[in-house]
Structures are given as C-alpha cells and as structure tokens.
Amino acid sequence: MEKDKNTKQGAATLAVPSGRGSRLARIGWMATGIAGGMVAEGARQLAQGNRPKISDMLLTPSNVRRVADQLAKLRGAAMKVGQMVSMESGDLLPPALADILARLRSDARAMPKTQVISMLDANWGKGWSKQFKHFSFTPLAAASIGQVHRAQSQDGREMAIKIQYPGVRESIDSDVDNVATLLRMSGLLPGQMDIKPLLRDAKRQLHDEADYIREGKYLQRYGELLRGASEYVLPQLYPDLTTHSVLSMSLVGGVPIESLIDAAQVVRDRVMTLLFALLLREVFEFRLVQTDPNFANYRYDTDSGQLILLDFGATRAYKAATANEFRRLLLGAMAGDRAAMAAADRAIGYFDQSTQVKHREAILDMGEQAFEPFGQVGGYDFGTTDLPTRIREAGMALGMEREFWQLPPADAMLLQRKFGGLYLLAIRLKARVNLHALVQSELGSRKRSS
C-alpha cells in the first residue's frame, strides 16, 4: 500500500481518551480548574473592594475557555451533548454557556495516526492495508464522533472511510450524565430547566449515530427513496468494509454548500429549493428525516448541478400521527389559523392544559414567525430577513419567564433544528425560495396519491 506522506502529528491532532477512567478524570480536571478559576477571580474582586456574585466568578473568560477546551478534547458524547444543548436551547441559555457550547460546533481535532491504525486493526483485522493501493492518514474531516479518511482499494474503488473515535460508544451514557452534572452543579444551566428529556434523547441519538451499520442502512434506504430524483446524489455503501465503528462509502466530489455564496442567484435559489423540497418529502412522505442540519452534510456538484447528501447517522423515523400534526401546524400558520395551530401544538407537546395562557400565546407567536417563509406567496427573500433575530428575541423573552421551562418532545426539537438549519443556510446563501408553492405541491401531490 502506498502510504500518505503527510503523517506528521502536530497541533492538528489530539489523542482521544478511550477508557472510562481517563474520560472521567478529564471531567474531574475540568471541574477542578473551574473551581480554581473561581477562587482566583473571587480574590481579585475582593482585592478591588467588590463583593462578587458566584455567577460573576464562574463565568470568566478563562473558565469559559476551560470548559469548551476540555469537552472538545473528550470528543464523542461529551462534545456532542454540548453541541446538542446549544442547538436545541441556545436562545434560552445564559450567554456565557451559549458561547461555550457554540465553540464545540467547530472545535474538533483529529486523532493521531496511531489511534487510526489501532481502530482499523480492531475492525478489519491485522493486514488490512493489503486491501488498499493508498490510504491517507490525514483526515478529510474531523467531527465529534469520528473522522473521515480517503482511500483507494486494490480493485480501484475511490473510498471515503469514516472511523469512529475509540471508546465513544461505550462512554455515551456516562459522558452525557457527567457533563450534565457538571453543567448543573456549576450553575451554568437555569435551575428551572428540566433537561432530563433532552439528555435521555441525547443518549438515544448518540447510540444511533455511533452505530455505523445502522447509518449504512439508512444511506441505502435514502438511495432507494430518491432513486427517481436525479437532482440528488448519495455515496454508495461498501458493506464489505463497514462495521459498527467503520463506515466505508464511495468518495463523492463537489464543493462545500456554503461556498455557493459566490454563485449566480439562480443557482443559490435552486439549491435551497431542492433542500426544502427534500425536507418536506422527508416529513410528510417518507416520514424519515435526516435531522442534522450541519452544512458539512451537503455538497454541490458544479458540473452536473446535483446536490450531494452526506451523513445519515442522525436519521429518525416519524410516526404518521406526528407528521399529521406538523402538517396541521404548518398549514395553520400559513393560513393564520391560531386555533388549528393551538390544537397541533398541544398534540405535539409544546404545551398542555396547565400552561398559562400568556405562555401559550407566546408559543403561537413564535410558531407564526417560524413558519413565516412558508406563508409568503410568491417567494421569500432570505437575504433580507431578520427572522432569526426575531425568533431568538422571542425565545429569550419566553425563557425569562420563571414559570415556564418546558422543553418540547425530542421529535419536535429535532425538526425545529432541521428547519432552523436550512433557514440559516438560506440566509447564508441569500437565497429566494417559494416555500408557499413547495408546500402546495408536496401536500397536494400527497393528497392526490392517497
């Protein structure tokens, strides 16, 4: 096998703690460092004649960096739960905690070559290199759970190999619990906020994402569902080299989706139309949704004009009843029918009979804003909207209400995340999309076929 010449292990790599003891110790060091930082800040404030609050001593820039850095070094579930809490509840969290967790969305460092070899030895057996003409130990990408390498098999297949970080699957439950305990004890999370449902679902989602055989099956399933839609391209799964911890696929090209900011308006509009059309099909036709809106999950083939879809680890099946309630919510918002929206919100779990009227009205207001792009006949200009700011302000206002700290069910939060992610991408690309027409087309075709 021809080996990659660029195998220097520098600042770009960092070994992943794989044992439970080493991972727990890392969290312990983080807690100790935070405590030390609080003592130092308290002494500094007292020396200046101030009477510092605990929150002021806790949320110093050095402590913020310390939490983010240690979670990033742990990677795996510890890093992922930070990302998830940030994505699901960022608008309702203290700014310092939001800053910590936001850093985790982009701060993933690759594991060194020695760990890559160890993982492949464990999954493919000794001598696996004989199956390849070339294997690059410099990863194409690194994220919270694994990293991707380029390779060429002896039979000529150009491949993308996703390798899971060691110990990730075994440490999911304990990592999630330990990080949640740390955040709770530190006072970084509001005391009224019940995050148990979020943590429970985080564990479920992480176990799903850490099973690459499961992801491979969903990759194949999406390939079947989109077989007649030539606008979309997916990698081909190679089952012979796929295990629970290693996912082997064909290498796809294209450019990063966000690089289309410099493309013609018609290209940007078309790309976002394809993404929103796919999401509507996922929710209302497939009832199977790839819930991770990370921009890195999409690429664009500038030659063929095809949209490339990647990463199906966060795929989630939805019940028909749930999809129908989201349909009622969407159509109610488009029609300005708050009674229909309220019935759907209650069925989904955004509020219940004990929720105060003012809080119900606030949720309905947020729903109307969230679906604003779908209600605009003739198309919505994401390049000029201030929608994220308005939703964020409404969310923060609701979050300040001490009597209301109710998170919606996981199914709802994941759809919120997916819709919100596409909104942000559309804003980045300054796209104009006729979502009103897309809904009429998708739901109309569903009605005709039923």
292 in catalytic set:
yes
| Closest by CA position to 372, among listed 386, 353, 358 | 386
Phi and psi at residue 432, to the nearest 5°: -115, 120
- Token pair for 275: 């993404």
- Distance, in Å, from the CA atom of 444 to the CA atom of 35, rounded to the nearest integer, reads 59
Burial class (CB in 10 A: 0-12, 13-18, 19+), 376: middle
Hey, what are 25's tokens?
């110790």
Residue 163: enclosing H or E segment and its boundaries? strand 158-164
Helix segments in 195-304, DSSP class H: 196-209, 212-225, 265-281
Q: Is the dihedral of CA 436, 331, 225, 315 positive or negative?
A: positive
Task: Tell me the sheet residues that pair with 433.
Answer: 380
Rounded to whole angstroms, the Cα distance separating 314 from 414 reads: 10
Q: Name the residue type at position 5.
A: K
**Which residue among 211, 292, 311, 411 is the active-site one?**
292
Q: Which residues are catalytic?
A: 292
